Amino acid sequence: MSTPTLQLSLGPVLFYWTRERYANFYREAADWPVEIVTLGETVCSRRRDMKLDDWLGIGRELTQAGKQVVLASQTLIESEADLRDLRKLCDNGDFIVEANDQSALQRLSCAGLPFIAGAALNLYNPATLGVMKRTGMQRWQAPVEMSKKDLAQLIADCHQAGVSQPCEVFAYGHLPLAWSSRCFTARRHQTPKDRCKFVCQKYPEGLVLRSQESRDVFTLNGIQTLSSACQDLRYELPDMAAMGVSVARLSPRAEGMAEIVKAFDQARQNRLPPPDPLSVVDAEICDGYWYGQPGMDNTRTVAS
């Protein structure tokens, strides 16, 4: 069987799970049809259940299962302790690192180490991508709010400028929108951030924030704000491959991830049935950014 043109990747778990849940999840993921798995804590340094050695151990097991493993850096660095942990991550010696902030980018580029450029770096033009390529970038992630039209143009411009590198698109999951030095989940529980009692672990898929009109708008995940609905671009995978996207990222959820991966694997092989806008799954998705519309829009529902 030939290898699909478009690869699937599992992004890092954005929520705070227990050690047992992480272990079980990646034990199952070893058998899923994804080529790339990104590991690590990208949101909050207070989530200490998993140490670097734990992630390295899981990474080695996934490597034995035939996966390409990436270690992701924290997106918001707030202390010297965070910097020490970042240095250890960048110097791990086993796996390529996904740089999610300028601290990681500087550490990796100064050390002459190859890296993946995360979406939080906000790469929007060929000039910037050219600089990143020269400093060791091996793959880059498109900003989550970039439209299909703009991404296609950027990929074409990069090819013309001779700075093309594999591009990864956030194809499934709650969209990471913002980070803050404040912890919204701790505040919801009227607890200071530095004495949070790890309340975010009570919400393995985040805490829903509703508008005054009772519409689900955001998902709160500690210091991170995500979209309420999950972006779902499974029906766009053939077009992604045609425009030059190399990897479709699937962001882990607490339940049903095996079925989601299976659906995306079918989609990249053009074996997925047409969307059903009346189904529960299709009703709880968003894809507005991809079509140049407000991010919370669901074009499948509009089309129906």
The answer to whether 77 and 86 have CB atoms below 8 angstroms apart is yes
230 is in an annotated binding site: no
- Cβ neighbors of 281 (< 8 A, separation 6 or more) are 232
- Please report which residue ranges of the chain form alpha helices under DSSP H: 19-29, 52-64, 80-90, 102-110, 126-134, 148-161, 184-188, 237-243, 257-268, 280-283, 299-303
The answer to whether 47 and 198 have CB atoms below 8 angstroms apart is yes
Q: Can you read off the two tokens belonging to residue 260?
A: 């989601």
Residue 47: alpha-carbon gap to chain centroid: 18
- Please report which residue ranges of 10-116 form alpha helices under DSSP H: 19-29, 52-64, 80-90, 102-110
167 is in an annotated binding site: no
Measured CA to CA, the distance from residue 126 to residue 144 in angstroms comes to 17
Annotated binding site: 44, 183, 196, 200
Annotated binding site for [4Fe-4S] cluster: 44, 183, 196, 200
